[in-house]
Amino acid sequence: MNPWMIWVGIGVICITIEIFTPGFFFLSFGIGAVLTGVVSLLIHDLAAQISVYAVVTFLLFINLRKLSKKLESKNSVPTNVFALKGKIGVVIKDVGVNQRGYVKIGGEEWSALTHQTERLAVGTLIRVIDVEGNKLIVEKSESLEEE
């Protein structure tokens, strides 16, 4: 079997795997192998082919990761509990300094902590500033405006 056929076969397998996995990981290996298959028609030395494969794959991997991150950040919308950051709620069970309490946000009750130096009493308006595990980190809010 000719070396170019092996390189192209490896490339097709990697590109096929990429179809079923996210992140452009196998795509760089697949394109690198296909391009190395084309180069192997001109260069018959196996060490040179492997060097071409390594360089091309590395360059593609770096550039495709940048593209992936760019595409991901444009369409990234916080979901689940992370979508609560910036939301306004009300304390339903006192939240003490580093002591767990409960808040209500949009009809749902959540366990909450505060890093502020004052206790948040029942009825206090709060803003969610972060999420740690299954707890919301909250602070006192002066307005009903969400971020």
The string of pLDDT tens digits covering residues 96-122 is 877 889 999 888 899 999 888 888 899
How large is the average pLDDT for residues 91-96? 90
**pLDDT value of position 143:** 72
How large is the average pLDDT for residues 47-73? 86
Choose between 17 and 98: higher pLDDT.
17
Could you tell me where in the chain the CATH 2.40.50.140 domains are found? 80-140
CATH 2.40.50.140 fits 80-140, yes or no: yes
Give how far the C-alpha of residue 56 lies from the chain's centroid of Cα atoms, to the nearest Å: 26
**pLDDT value of position 86:** 86
Q: For 119-141, what is each residue's pLDDT tens digit? A: 889 999 999 988 888 888 899 88
**pLDDT value of position 147:** 63
**pLDDT value of position 85:** 86
Let me know the angle formed at the C-alpha of 35 by 32 and 40, rounded to the nearest 5 degrees.
120
Can you give the pTM of this predicted structure? 0.50
Q: From residue 102, how far is each of 3, 19, 94, 121, 124 by CA, in Å?
A: 66, 44, 7, 10, 11
| Confidence class for position 33, pLDDT limits 50, 70, 90 | very high
Token duo for residue 76 = 């990234």
| Confidence class for position 42, pLDDT limits 50, 70, 90 | very high
Question: What average pLDDT does the structure give for the chain?
Answer: 86
pLDDT at position 31 over 60? yes
Q: Which has the minimum average pLDDT: 79-83, 86-90, 93-97, 133-137?
A: 79-83
